[in-house]
Amino acid sequence: MPVIQSAKKQMRQSLKKRERNTPVRTELKSVFKKMLQFIKDGKIEEAEKFMTKAYSVIDTAAKKNLIHKNNAARKKSRLARNLAAIKTK
C-alpha cells in the first residue's frame, strides 16, 4: 500500500481508469475475434454487416487512447483485407 499522499491519489486514479477502460478493451478483443470467425467460417453477409460495428469499436478504442491510431488503422486494414480475400474465392 502506498504511504505518500500523491501515491495514494495515483492509485485511486489508476483504479478508476482501469474500470473505465476494461469494458472497451474487452469489447475490442471480442469484436475482433468475432469478425475473424465470420471470415474464417465464410459468412460473408454477416461479416459485411458486422464490419461497421467492428470499425466503430476499433475507432472508439483509438479515441480513448487504449490503442495507438496506427494500431487501429492496421486492425481495420487487416479485417478489410481478409474479407476481400474471402470474397474473391
Residue 78: CATH number of its domain? 1.20.58.110
Assigned domain for 13 exists: no
Residue 14 lies in a domain: no
Cα→Cα distances 58→13, 22, 54, 81, 84, Å: 24, 14, 6, 16, 19
Domain that holds residue 78: 26-88
pTM of the predicted structure, to 2 decimals? 0.85
Residue 68 lies in a domain: yes
Per the structure, the count of domains in the chain is: 1
* pLDDT tens sequence across 31-69: 999 999 999 998 999 999 999 999 999 999 999 999 999
